[in-house]
Amino acid sequence: MSGGAAKKEEKPRKFQAIKGVRDLLPPETALWNRVEQTAHEVFATFGFGEIRPPIFEPTELFARAVGGETDIVSKEMYTFEDRDETSVSLRPEATASVCRAYIEHGMQQLPQPVKLYYMGPMFRRERPQKGRYRQFYQIGAEVLGGIDAPAIDVEVIEMVMTFFDKLDLQGLRLSVNSIGCRECRPKYVELLRAELLKVKDKLGPDSQRRIETNPLRVLDSKLESEQKIIEKLPRISDHLCKDCAEHYAAVKQELDLRGVKYRENWRLVRGLDYYMRTTFEITAQGLGSQDAVCGGGRYDSLVGLLGGPPTNGIGFAIGEDRLILSLQESGKAPVVRSRDVYIAWMGEKAHATAVRAAKDLRKAGFSVELPPVEQKFGKALGQADKLGARFALILGDNEVTSGEWTLKTLADGSQAKFTEPNLLEHLCRNKALSS
């Protein structure tokens, strides 16, 4: 500081992450990486390629695709004006972007259907609680173009279940439904509206409003007092047109064929107009009331709605935060190793050897901690312990001169001497045994 002006130094402000968003930290991020790596692998076996759409888009895209009436668009988007006064929004979901990209890049010229998946952050200004954040992560996939064969719906579901099984996610429940098409759904919705009007005064204010705006959403209601009433309402499965009924029957048959266990839930609806026929949801254990880890469905008119050619579409989005939470709660999160080897070195000659040893061990794939400055062995071993290292490699002048290195196993304190080539071999053998 110059001058010595008697200005009282202000304590700098400490910053905190904004409400509803959070840092993901090690070691937990290792689990996130594993989940994402597994998704890349499993989805590739189903012939899906990765798309990385931008994180912000024109607000209008979401208004059109998700629907201006939805909570997501009307209340929850992070929207701002760019310098050229266009309105842009952080994406609340990615299906709209994937459809936009399909149209923009003329993907209808490619062999159909086009199978894409994505992963990354989404943004919704919701009330934060367990399993609900304002920046959260989704892993999703979309199948665009081609035909609307039931086997496509089921392959998409089979892919999610294969992914979840591979992660050993516990307590999975898959619910499926069909919500009809432009032919049969409007008639059902009218019937539902008429029935709801008869019981209107027994419903809560939200449902009362939805009788007009979107009667299907009443079926979503979790309000205890409405459950008995809803159970008596007409069910869409009794009002599907012939094509939809056949499609739905074939979906169920195909699920059986592939050994995918499911239950039907006639109240599983997607409140948006462009959704049709197959809808599904998967819940997992350990999540309390936010237990949906995946939602999906068919949306054959969405690409058309965004100015593209008539295009079939089906997809899903997995909530990665909840997926991770469920793995952690059920004790299925893999134990992540911290360091394989801590190199405790003392002396100038030992330093050069330690640097070389670290390089060789890292090259062989070991996680190595090489302290930047010399430490007394006692302190170094304490440090190795704190870091949870498996082994400490002790390199002092004696070791360097004799060419016999000391390896200490921290779990039991046992020590053994190795020559340099033997050491690597020993560690590799040990690693093979423990993994």
**Which residues sit at the interface with ligand ATP, rule CB under 6 A?**
93, 124, 126, 131-133, 136, 138, 290, 292-295, 317, 319, 321-322
In the complex, minimum distance from the CB of residue 299 to ligand ATP, in angstroms, rounded to a whole number: 12
HEC assignment per residue over 107-152: HHHCCCCEEEEEEEEEECCCCCECCECCEEEEEEEEEECCCCCHHH
| DSSP 8-class letter at 333 | S
CB closer to ligand ATP, 108 vs 290: 290
> Within 13 Å of residue 427, how many CA atoms lie on the same side as its CB?
31
The pair of structure tokens assigned to 263 is 């239950």
Reduced to 3 states (helix: H, G, I; strand: E, B; else coil), residue 89 is strand
Cβ proximity to ligand ATP: between 321 and 369 the closer is 321
Nearer to ligand ATP, 132 or 332 (CB): 132
What is the smallest separation between the CB atom of 24 and ligand ATP, expressed in angstroms?
13
CB of 283 to ligand ATP, least distance (A): 9
Of 138 and 406, the one with the shorter C-beta distance to ligand ATP is 138
Provide the 8-state DSSP code for 317.
Answer: E
Give, for 280, the enclosing helix (H) or strand (E).
strand 276-283
113 neighbors 156 (Cβ within 8 angstroms): no
| Alpha-carbon gap, residue 313 to 328, rounded angstroms | 33
Q: Which of 68, 266, 49, 61 is nearest to 179 (CA)?
A: 266
Tokens representing 4 are 């010595």
CB of 122 to ligand ATP, least distance (A): 7
Choice between 38 and 290, CB closer to ligand ATP: 290
Q: Is 176 helix (H, G, I), strand (E, B) or coil?
A: strand
Check if the beta carbon of residue 122 is closer than 8 Å to that of residue 91.
yes
Q: How far is the CB of 93 from ligand ATP (least distance, A)?
A: 6
Residue 131 or 145 with smaller CB distance to ligand ATP: 131
Sign of CA dihedral 136, 113, 243, 159: negative
CB-based closest residue to ligand ATP: 319
Whichever of 17 and 373 has its CB closer to ligand ATP, that residue is: 17
Of 251, 313, 258, residue with least CA distance to 113? 313
CB of 26 to ligand ATP, least distance (A): 21
- CB of 220: closest distance to ligand ATP in angstroms? 8
The sign of the CA dihedral 176, 181, 184, 186 is: positive
CA distances from 70 to 73, 92, 217 (A): 6, 12, 11
Nearest distance, CB of residue 130 and ligand ATP, angstroms:
10
Decide whether 31 or 370 has the Cβ nearer to ligand ATP. Answer: 31
- Confirm if 226 and 207 have CB atoms less than 8 A apart: yes
Would you say 337 and 387 are in contact if contact means Cβ atoms under 8 Å apart? Answer: no
**Pairing outcome for strands 391-395 and 368-369:** unpaired
Closest contact distance (angstroms) between CB of 327 and ligand ATP is: 13
CB-nearer residue toward ligand ATP: 20 or 347: 20
Minimal distance in Å, beta carbon 395 to ligand ATP? 48
Task: Output 117 or 342, the one with its CB closest to ligand ATP.
Answer: 117
Task: List residues bridging with 56 in a β-sheet.
Answer: 90
Structural Rg of the chain based on CA atoms: 29
Which ranges constitute the DSSP H helices of 221-269?
A: 227-231, 242-257
CB of 84: closest distance to ligand ATP in angstroms? 30
* Pick 285 or 367: Cβ nearer ligand ATP: 285
How many beta carbons lie within 10 A of that of residue 371, not counting itself?
Answer: 16
